[in-house]
Structure 1
Amino acid sequence: MPLVEITAPAGAFPETAVETVQQRVARAVLTWMGLPGTDFFAGATWVYLHEAEKGRGATALPGATPGFLVVVTALENFLTPERNESLAAEITRIVREEAQYGADDETPVWTIVKEIPEGYWAVNAGLTRRAKLDELIAQAAQG
């Protein structure tokens, strides 16, 4: 929890930028979800980067290729529409800054946030409960 999957055109990120984009996106997700940056939450925030091979992505417009797709899967009620919008803006900025195209490039960056209701997310066969997460958040706030 949370899980992020980035699908990028092949070669969009230089090899030296792959871990950086993953780390930056993970930190943005933690921030906008209001989660502390403790080892527990940082270690439980996974980001996978997949490259779509050349010719394996298309749009309805012949010859056009899609841009980036970022899917954030999070437990329900950690994000609001306003936080989602801020998260999408930050993810777009990060992807554009780290991609070889440059920060001013206007390649589309689609961000989709999917929320999973409590009781539908399990880790190591145990359901993730909001009350336990709230406990961990409170402990982190106390130092």
Structure 2
Amino acid sequence: MAVALLLEPMKKVGRQAVDEAIVAEESRLLSAIWYGTPAKDRGSQAVFGEKLEIGNQSAVGQFLRGESPLSLKAAKGFAKGLGCRIAEFSPRLAELETAWPFELVDRERYEALSPAMRHKAQVRMMDAIAEIEAQHQKANRKAA
């Protein structure tokens, strides 16, 4: 019985798989922008990847060839380095970038607030984050 368990395929955890057709289309669009940008403006794949924290030359090449699906971090780096918007090569990631990040906050209620009230809510959040960070630092100093 133990041998049978060892031979079962491992389940992948972490990132959700991206459809191969989407990866191919993103790669096609990104490559068109990459090769349409003069090399003097973008540099080599190695320099570009390191400078924009995308990865090494191999990682940049894998994204351009569609061998690896783009991550949001890589897409942000490509967009910044190529002077374009993420939506120009990955509508999928552009949508993620603008997704509502607050699970416990109702977006419609927030957006119904006046600009002044939105500002006030953001200031309160900044204050709460600063307080949480201070508490965390204090706890770490005590533990050390």
TM-score with structure 2 setting the length: 0.29
TM-score with structure 1 setting the length: 0.29
Larger Rg: 2
Higher strand share: 1
Greater helix share, 1 or 2?
2
